[in-house]
A and B are shown apart, each in its own frame.
Chain A
Amino acid sequence: MSVNTEPTGPEVPVVAGPAGEAQAPAPPAEVGVVRPAPGGGSVASVMQTRRRWEFIYFAVRNKKLMIGLGVEAVFVFIAIFGPAIAPYASSKTFGPGLHPSLNHPFGTTYPFGQDVFSQWLGGVRDSYLVGVLGAVSAGVIGLAVGFAAGWRGGWLDELLQLLTNVVVCLPQLVLLIVITAYQTNRSALFEGVFIGVTGWPWVARAVRAQTFTLKARDFVDLARLSGRRATSIVLKDIAPNMASYIFLVFVLLFASSMLVAVNFDFLGLGPTGTMSIGDMMNLANQWSALQLHVWWWFLPPGAAMTLMVVALLITNVGLDEVFNPKLRQQ
């Protein structure tokens, strides 16, 4: 694409006669369709690579994105290798309620005497696991419902909107409490998927709106006129145009799923047999860590969780600025 001097976004760089340009910033696919490119047929693919380049160019210069991703990378490292580099086994006990020291960076629990740092290293993994499960399941459901509603419209749209609005009205945590209260054996998979199954409505709403606007664009009409099947258009034309948006949605879902899981674990309703960050705070609270001033049992784990989520939120803003040229100027 030629250097874009227009403030409104990428335009088609060639005057196409009175057929005119689309008013909205045109997606690159249009160039190839409206006018067979004279200088080699692959304008669209050239622009694709250009775009990718531009993305990387702006991405590495975006401070928010780099800081967010940097912090997140550290935690991902911990999540993968944490249990392996943990100094002690979680069952091993020391003096109860030891203050943080070089031997025990986050001290030990009271009255059990377990090493908090080692527990925490494992907890990051458990929290991430549930976060990913929640984000993926909520994302998949939200995308499917949103696409279907936005693409088909009509009664299906009405029905799916009703479904979405009903799920919105059901308070997630309360619903989960009622459902899991009767279960004695719970897995991380159950918790993650459940968070997803109740957390998708806003994704569906947003995707539905996006699909509606994209559907109205010329290039989709062209695809449709050429007799392609709906699923093929959704997957090949609409989804790629929404790819950046979908990515942002996943980042946010990841963050919110982890937060829901913390609440959940804190109430003692998390997966049985694991020690997530929420579990640690739950135990600390139950064993009167506050009154006994064993602050190292609950402050560092929660602070780490906050940092993990802040990093995701900042990554999200940074990515948004990279994807959306309008926000770049600041």
Chain B
Amino acid sequence: MRRYFFKKIVTYIVTFFVATTIDWAIPHLMPGNPVEIYLGRFNISSNTQYLALQKTISEAFGVNVPLWRQYLDFWNGVLHWNFGVSFYATAPVTHVIAQAVPYTLALLIPAIVLSYVLGNRIGAMAARRKVLDNVVLPIGYLFQAAPFAWLALALSYFLAVRLRWFPPSLGSDPGIGVGWNWAFIWSAIRHWFLPFLSVFLVSFGGWAIGMRNLVIYELETDYARYLRSLGASQRLVRRYAYRNAVLPQLSGLALALGVVVGGNIVTEVVFQYPGLGHLIFLAISDEDFFLLQGIFLFIIIGVLVANFIIDIAYVLIDPRTRLSMTGATA
């Protein structure tokens, strides 16, 4: 078990290091000077004014020192939780991110957890009932295959624009101030539902189909055949199959995190939902590099934390990771 966690933690540290380096390197190594790009957005006619502004901005970007210094400075900022100032919001990047994070988490956590739990349940049920299987399989494939953007657009068009059951965009009614009152909470829930549903449905399809296939596979394994040969009840065989099928599903969850996070970005853009995804979109169109850097690192940290939680869960349910025996294959 120690070895297992040691390897995982090394992986996470290396990942964080790589991600931070990429985050720093891309704007610095790409053709085009971010300072120039930034200055290009202003209509500055006077040359002296331009040069003065260039100097100030260069200092603000920290590009007036050697590259290695810039790199160390960047790490220094990261470790002190300081990503600079967002031009778009004219506020510290961490501040801007902190406002968006609750919205994103409110979408992602329920969507991931519910789709995983329900998908597993229903997939396992489909594996043993032909009638249900004939319904779950096509629907599951449809959701799994649907591009996030399309499903979000379709849901928005039918349920919000046409039927007007839900608002088509934003995180809450602009007329209602953000705060802990019922009017705001109700409005937030109504705005939350469609983006949540989009992310949920796509993930759900994948889990249901994955679980169905895994359970069918598990029911064909040697231990299942042996139990059946000895007259064990269907219930016992299925319980074992389900338990064992959950293991690959759980490691699949770690693999799928990146996809869900990406899908969530697209969904937030469709619904103009004020989470990190929408913020990224704004940062791209505004060329707000500090903000982009900050969001990227923040998402990486979020994914790493989620991975770590999954690792702990995996250790809890798979005995093979707990015991570092010879012959363990984990």
A residues at B contact (CB < 8 Å): 162, 165-166, 168-175, 177-179, 181-184, 201-202, 255, 259-260, 262-263, 266-269, 277-278, 281-282, 284-285, 290-291, 293, 295, 298-299, 301-303, 305-307, 309-310, 312-314, 326-327
Contact A170 B280 (CB under 8 A): no
Please indicate the chain B residues that have their CB under 8 angstroms from the CB of A293 in the complex. 161
* A165 to B27 CA separation, bound complex (whole angstroms): 25
Complex contacts, B102 vs chain A, CB 8 Å: none
Q: If the complex has contacts A169-B300, A171-B300, A298-B153, are A266 and B161 also in contact, measured as CB distance less than 8 A?
A: no
Whether B12 pairs with A169 at a CB distance below 8 angstroms is yes
Question: Which residue, A170, A284, A309, has most C-beta atoms of chain B within 10 A?
Answer: A170
Closest 7 CB pairs of A and B: A302-B150, A173-B262, A309-B145, A171-B258, A262-B147, A266-B149, A182-B30
Q: Is B26 an interface residue (CB 8 A)?
A: yes
With contact pairs A174-B261, A174-B280, A326-B220 given, residues A305 and B15 touching in the complex (Cβ less than 8 Å): no
Contact assessment for B150 and A291 in the assembled complex, using a CB-CB cutoff below 8 Å: no
Contact: B147 with A177, CB < 8 Å? Answer: no
Q: Determine whether the beta carbon of B157 is less than 8 Å from that of A299.
A: yes
CB contacts (< 8 Å) of A285 on chain B: these are: 149, 153, 269-270
Which of chain B's residues 1-20 have a Cβ closer than 8 Å to chain A?
A: 10-12, 14-15, 18-19
Pull 23 A–B residue pairs with CB atoms less than 8 Å apart, ordered by A. A162-B11, A165-B11, A165-B15, A169-B304, A169-B307, A171-B257, A172-B258, A173-B266, A177-B284, A179-B26, A182-B32, A259-B147, A263-B148, A282-B149, A285-B149, A290-B156, A290-B157, A290-B160, A298-B157, A302-B153, A306-B147, A309-B145, A309-B146
Q: Which residues of A contact B151 (CB under 8 A)?
A: 302
Q: Apart from A168-B258, A182-B32, A262-B147, list 14 A-B contacts with CB within 8 A.
A: A171-B303, A173-B263, A174-B265, A175-B296, A178-B293, A179-B26, A260-B262, A262-B149, A262-B150, A268-B284, A278-B149, A290-B157, A298-B157, A313-B145
When chains A and B are docked, how far (Å) is the Cα of A251 from the Cα of B157?
32
Q: Is the CB of B10 within 8 A of A162?
A: yes
**For the complex, is B254 an interface residue (Cβ under 8 Å from A)?**
yes
With A170-B15, A326-B220 as contacts: A281 and B258 at CB distance below 8 Å: no
Asked whether, in the complex, the Cβ of A302 is within 8 Å of the Cβ of B261, the reply is no
Interface of A is mostly: helix
Decide yes or no whether B23 CB sits under 8 A from chain A: yes
What's the least CB distance linking A13 to chain B, in Å? 23
Give A166 to B14 CA distance when docked, in angstroms.
Answer: 7
Identify B142's interface contact among A268, A269, A277, A310, CB under 8 A.
Answer: A310
Question: Are A171 and B14 within 8 A (Cβ)?
Answer: no
Instruction: Report A298 CB to chain B, min CB distance, Å.
Output: 5
CA distance A312 to B145 in the complex (A): 9
Interface residues of B in 32-50 (CB under 8 A from A): 32, 34
Check A306 against B303 for contact (C-beta < 8 Å).
no
Known pairs A290-B156, A299-B154; A173 contacts B149 (CB<8 A): no
Whether A170 lies near B19 (C-beta < 8 A) is yes
Is there contact, CB below 8 Å, between B141 and A310? yes
B149 — which chain A residues lie within 8 A by C-beta?
A: 262-263, 266, 278, 281-282, 285, 302
User: How many interface residues does chain B have, given as a range?
Assistant: 35 or more
Q: Closest CB of chain B to A279's CB: distance in Å? A: 11
Nearest chain A CB to B310 CB, angstrom units: 11
A interface footprint on B246-261 (CB within 8 Å = 1, 0 otherwise): 0000000011011101
Shortest Cβ distance from A318 into chain B, in angstroms? 12
Please tell me which one of the listed residues A169, A174, A306, A313 contacts residue B296 in the complex, with CB atoms under 8 A apart. Answer: A174
Give Cα distance in the complex from A96 to B144, angstroms. Answer: 34
Is B87 on the interface with A (CB-CB < 8 A)?
no
Whether A168 lies near B14 (C-beta < 8 A) is no
Which residues in B have their C-beta under 8 angstroms from that of A291?
161, 168
Contacts of A298 in B (CB 8 A): 150, 153-154, 157
Across the interface, name the chain B residue whose C-beta is closest to A209.
B329
On whether the beta carbons of A290 and B14 are closer than 8 Å, the reply is no
Which of B34, B141, B265 is A314 in contact with, Cβ under 8 Å? B141
Cβ of B97 within 8 Å of any chain A Cβ, yes or no, is: no
Q: B213's closest neighbor in chain A, by CB?
A: A317
- Say yes or no for B281: interface residue by CB 8 A criterion: yes
Q: Shortest CB–CB separation between residue B293 and chain A, in angstroms?
A: 8
**Could you tell me if A305 and B147 are in contact, using CB atoms closer than 8 angstroms?**
yes
In the complex, residue of chain A having the shortest beta-carbon distance to the beta carbon of B257: A171
User: A178-B26, A278-B147 are known contacts. Are A202 and B265 too (CB-CB below 8 A)?
Assistant: no
User: Complex Cα distance A182/B27, Å?
Assistant: 7
**What CA separation (Å) do A314 and B144 show in the bound complex?**
12
What separation, in Å, do the CA atoms of A264 and B12 have in the docked complex?
26
- On whether A267 and B15 interact (CB within 8 A), knowing A178-B296, A182-B27, the answer reads no
Could you say which residues of chain B place their CB within 8 Å of the CB of A172? 258-259, 262
- Assess whether B237 is interfacial by the CB under 8 Å rule: no
| Best-buried of B142, B262, B281, B299 by chain A (most CB within 10 Å) | B262
Q: Is B22 an interface residue (CB 8 A)?
A: yes
> In the complex the two chains form, is A178's CB within 8 Å of B292's CB?
yes
A183-B30, A284-B153 are contacts. A306–B142 as well, Cβ < 8 Å? Answer: yes
Residue of A nearest to B143 (CB): A306
**Complex contact A302–B147 (CB within 8 A):** yes
Tell me, in angstroms, the Cα distance from A293 to B156 when the chains sit together.
11
Judging by beta carbons under 8 Å apart, are A290 and B257 in contact? no
User: Which of B147, B220, B287, B299 makes the CB contact (< 8 A) with A174?
Assistant: B299
CA distance A175 to B258 in the complex (A): 10
Chain B residues with CB below 8 A from A179, complex form: 22, 26
Given contacts A182-B30, A299-B157, contact A177 B280 (CB under 8 A): yes
